[in-house]
C-alpha cells in the first residue's frame, strides 16, 4: 500500500477542492493508493468528490483566517487564533511527525499547512506544497510590527515552508518566496462527467428565466437581501444554508436539490460569488458568467479577478449594491459580455500527478 499524508486547510472548501482532481487522477496512476486526510473539512465533502481509498483524521492543520462572513476577515480574531495555535508549536510538530511515522507515509502533501511541512521534515518524509497561496502572504497586510507575536508567527510559518522539498504552484497564484523550490503548473480545474441531472426541469424554471447560483465558498453568508431577490422578475436564486423556513417562490435552497453542487454550478446561468479559486476556475472552465463582490484585503483576489476577465465572462458588483439587493442591472449586463478569444491554460492536474509520482517512486 502506498500511503499519502494529505494536509488540507479547512478555511472554506477551496483548498480541498483544489486537491480532489489531483488525488483522483493520482489514484488512477498509483496502484493501491491510500490517502490519509488530515483536515477539519467535513467528511461529506470527500464522500461526494474523492474516488480513492481514504480515511479522515479530524485534526486542525492551520488557522487560515477567522471570518465574519465570507467577505470580512476578523483581523483581531485571526491573530488571537494564530497565537493560540502556535502555542506549544514544537509539541504540535512532533505530534504531526509521529503520526506520519506511524502511518508509514511515502509522501506528505500540504495545502497549505506549515505544521504538516514541519512535521514531515522532522519525520524525514518527502513533503511538497500544492497550492495557489500561502498563509504568510495572506497575513502580511495585517502584521503590526510593534506587536512581537505577529512577526514571530510569520517567521515560524516561513521557516516551516522553507523545509518543503518543493512547492507545486497552481495557476493563477501569488508569489510565495518562503519556499526554496517551486514548479508552476496549470489550474486545478473541476472534473465534469455527463449525467442526467436537469436543473431547470428540477426547479420548474422556464427557458426565459435565469438561474443564479449564490456561491461564496464554505463560509456562510451572514445575510441576504431576500425581499429584493424575491421581487426580481425573471430570476431564480439558488442559495446554500438558508433556513428551512425560508419561503420565497424565486429563492431555492441548494440542499433541497437532489443533484451535486458541481452540476448545479455547471448549469447555472450566472454565479454570484467572491473571487475564490475554485469558483473562478470552474466558472471560466464552464464558460459561465460570473458576478463577483470583492473582499479587497485578500492576497490572491486580484490574480483571480484578472484571470476572470482574461479568460471568462465577469463583472463586479459593489459591496453596497450587493448588500442592498441592487443586483438586476449587473446580472443582466454580465450576460452581454462575450467569452474572450484567448483560451484558458490547460489544467495542471496531469503535471502535478507526474511530479508527485517522482516522490512516490523514491
Residue 3: what are its φ and ψ, rounded to 5°? -100, 125
Sheet holding 289-292, edge to edge: 251-253, 235-239, 210-214, 270-273, 289-292, 314-316
Residue 356: pLDDT band by 50, 70, 90 thresholds? Answer: very high
Task: Report the alpha-carbon distance of residue 78 to residue 200 in Å, rounded.
Answer: 41
**Confidence at residue 191, expressed as pLDDT on a 0 to 100 scale:** 66
Flag whether pLDDT at 244 surpasses 80.
no
Answer CATH for 199-334 from 3.40.50.2000, 3.40.30.10, 3.30.428.10, 3.10.20.90 = 3.40.50.2000
Read off the pLDDT of residues 147-176 as tens digits, 9 standing for 90 and up. Answer: 989 999 999 999 999 999 999 999 999 999
- Residue 290, class by beta-carbon neighbours within 10 Å (0-12 exposed, 13-18 middle, 19+ buried)? buried
Whole-angstrom CA distances from 315 to 8, 97, 309 are 31, 46, 8
Overall average pLDDT of the 221-240 stretch: 92
Read off the pLDDT of residues 320-342 as tens digits, 9 standing for 90 and up. Answer: 999 999 999 999 999 999 999 99
State the cell numbers at 222.
451572514
Domains 2-188+347-360 and 199-334 belong to one CATH topology: yes
Read off the pLDDT of residues 17-68 as tens digits, 9 standing for 90 and up. Answer: 999 999 999 999 999 999 999 999 999 999 988 999 999 999 999 999 999 9
The per-residue DSSP string of 170-208 comes to: ESS----TTSS-EEEE---PPP-------HHHHHT--TT
Flag whether pLDDT at 220 surpasses 90.
no
The residue written with cell numbers 467577505 in the block is: 71
The residues, any chain, with a CB within 8 Å of residue 247's CB and separated by 6 or more, are none
**Confidence at residue 250, expressed as pLDDT on a 0 to 100 scale:** 93
Read off the pLDDT of residues 75-127 as tens digits, 9 standing for 90 and up. Answer: 999 999 999 999 999 999 999 999 999 999 999 999 999 999 999 999 999 99
Task: Report the alpha-carbon distance of residue 36 to residue 19 in Å, rounded.
Answer: 13
Residue 192: pLDDT band by 50, 70, 90 thresholds? Answer: low
How many percent of the chain have pLDDT more than 70?
A: 98
Task: Report the alpha-carbon distance of residue 234 to residue 335 in Å, rounded.
Answer: 14
Flag whether pLDDT at 217 surpasses 90.
no
Would you say 71 and 92 are in contact if contact means Cβ atoms under 8 Å apart?
no
Task: Report the alpha-carbon distance of residue 161 to residue 156 in Å, rounded.
Answer: 9
Would you say 326 and 232 are in contact if contact means Cβ atoms under 8 Å apart?
no
Integer-rounded Cα radius of gyration of the chain: 21
Task: Report the alpha-carbon distance of residue 82 to residue 151 in Å, rounded.
Answer: 12
Q: Mean pLDDT of all residues in the chain? A: 94
Task: Report the alpha-carbon distance of residue 263 to residue 113 in Å, rounded.
Answer: 30
Task: Report the alpha-carbon distance of residue 273 to residue 171 in Å, rounded.
Answer: 19
Overall average pLDDT of the 285-301 stretch: 95
Q: Where are the domains of the chain?
A: 2-188+347-360, 199-334
Task: Report the alpha-carbon distance of residue 62 to residue 119 in Å, rounded.
Answer: 13
**Confidence at residue 193, expressed as pLDDT on a 0 to 100 scale:** 62
Please tell me the pTM assigned to this model.
Answer: 0.95
Flag whether pLDDT at 361 surpasses 70.
yes
Read off the pLDDT of residues 199-211 as tens digits, 9 standing for 90 and up. Answer: 999 888 999 999 9
Please say whether the structural domain 2-188+347-360 has been given the CATH code 3.30.920.30.
no
Amino acid at each position: 500500500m502506498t500511503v499519502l499524508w494529505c494536509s488540507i486547510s479547512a478555511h472554506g472548501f477551496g483548498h480541498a477542492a483544489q486537491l480532489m482532481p489531483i488525488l483522483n487522477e493520482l489514484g488512477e496512476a498509483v496502484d493501491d493508493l491510500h490517502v490519509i486526510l488530515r483536515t477539519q473539512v467535513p467528511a461529506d465533502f470527500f464522500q461526494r468528490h474523492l474516488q480513492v481509498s481514504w480515511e479522515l483524521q479530524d485534526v486542525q492543520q492551520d488557522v487560515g483566517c477567522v471570518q465574519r462572513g465570507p467577505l470580512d476577515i476578523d483581523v483581531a480574531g485571526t491573530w488571537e487564533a494564530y497565537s493560540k495555535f502556535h502555542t506549544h508549536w514544537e509539541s504540535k510538530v512532533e505530534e504531526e511527525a509521529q503520526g506520519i511515522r506511524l502511518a508509514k507515509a511515502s509522501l506528505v502533501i500540504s495545502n497549505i499547512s506549515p505544521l504538516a511541512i514541519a512535521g514531515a521534515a522532522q519525520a524525514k518524509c518527502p513533503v511538497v506544497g500544492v497550492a495557489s497561496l500561502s498563509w504568510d502572504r495572506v497575513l502580511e497586510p495585517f502584521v503590526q510590527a510593534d506587536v512581537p507575536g505577529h512577526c514571530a508567527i510569520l517567521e515560524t510559518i516561513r521557516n516551516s515552508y522553507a523545509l518543503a522539498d518543493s512547492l507545486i504552484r497552481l495557476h493563477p497564484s501569488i508569489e510565495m518566496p518562503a519556499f526554496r523550490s517551486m514548479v508552476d503548473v496549470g489550474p486545478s480545474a473541476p472534473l465534469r462527467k455527463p449525467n442526467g441531472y436537469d436543473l431547470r426541469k428540477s426547479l420548474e424554471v422556464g427557458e426565459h428565466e435565469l438561474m443564479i447560483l449564490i456561491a461564496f465558498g464554505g463560509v456562510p453568508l451572514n445575510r441576504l437581501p431576500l425581499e429584493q431577490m424575491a421581487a426580481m422578475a425573471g430570476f431564480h436564486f439558488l442559495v446554500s444554508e438558508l433556513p428551512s423556513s425560508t419561503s420565497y417562490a424565486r429563492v431555492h435552497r441548494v440542499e433541497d436539490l437532489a443533484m451535486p453542487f458541481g452540476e448545479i454550478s455547471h448549469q447555472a446561468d450566472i454565479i454570484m460569488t467572491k473571487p475564490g479559486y475554485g469558483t473562478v476556475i470552474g466558472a471560466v472552465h464552464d464558460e459561465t458568467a460570473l458576478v463577483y463582490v470583492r473582499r479587497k484585503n485578500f492576497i490572491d483576489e486580484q490574480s483571480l479577478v484578472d484571470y476572470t476577465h482574461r479568460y471568462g465572462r465577469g463583472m463586479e458588483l459593489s459591496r453596497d449594491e450587493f448588500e442592498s439587493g441592487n443586483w438586476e442591472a449587473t446580472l443582466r449586463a454580465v450576460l452581454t459580455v462575450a467569452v474572450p478569444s484567448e483560451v484558458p491554460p490547460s489544467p495542471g492536474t496531469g503535471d502535478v500527478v507526474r511530479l508527485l509520482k517522482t516522490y512516490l517512486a523514491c
